[in-house]
Amino acid sequence: MKKSFTKLTVAFATLVALLFVGVMSNNHNNVSHAESRAQFSRVYRVAKSKLGSPYVYGAAGANAFDCSGFTSYIYRNSLGVNLPRTAQQQFHSTRRVARRHLRKGDLVFIGSSRRNIYHVGMFIGRGKMIDAQNRGVIRERVHAPWWHVVAYGRVA
């Protein structure tokens, strides 16, 4: 009887330790998620301030933008992150993210293929992005009929 009680106590202690480690791991993940939210808030604040700015091919701010000039501008002026100049170069400089792992602040790459990226916007949640296009800087659906989403990328 004493042996089985000892085994049961050891098993229970092991279970408690595993649960504790799991809870601590989850708390750690929540902390990093909150940091991501804070960073997104900073980037989105800059992006939102440019709503309505006109589209001008090759423009990178502060009063007019093309798509990659816009994403470069908002990351540089909010987090100090320098993104390459073109949508294709930004595609190559970001880490690929699956659609199911998409987070606010990730970049949405649009084109005919991974070798032909011609547009980029920033995901803002609820199926929408903010981007600079022929109607200027606007919020719009990511999966609009006129876009062919090729990939998503996370800015390091």
pLDDT digits (tens, 9 = 90+) for 134-146: 999 999 999 999 8
Residue 101 is given by DSSP the state G
28 a catalytic residue = no
Query: Which residue in 101, 106, 131, 148 is the catalytic one?
Result: 131
Contact 50, 130 (CB under 8 A): no
Task: Write the pLDDT tens digit of every residue in 17-34.
Answer: 433 334 333 333 333 334
Query: Which residue in 67, 92, 101, 148 is the catalytic one?
Result: 67
Please count the other Cβ atoms lying within 10 Å of the Cβ belonging to residue 59. Answer: 17
Say what the pLDDT of residue 7 is.
52
- Mean pLDDT, the chain, as a whole number? 84
Tell me the C-alpha distance between 41 and 50, whole Å: 14
119 a catalytic residue = yes
Number of structural domains in the chain: 1
Query: Which residue in 33, 119, 143, 148 is the catalytic one?
Result: 119
CATH number of the domain that residue 69 is part of: 3.90.1720.10
131 a catalytic residue = yes
Domain with 38, as residue range(s), is 2-154
Say what the pLDDT of residue 21 is.
36
- Among candidate residues 52, 98, 41, the one with its CA nearest the CA of residue 74: 41
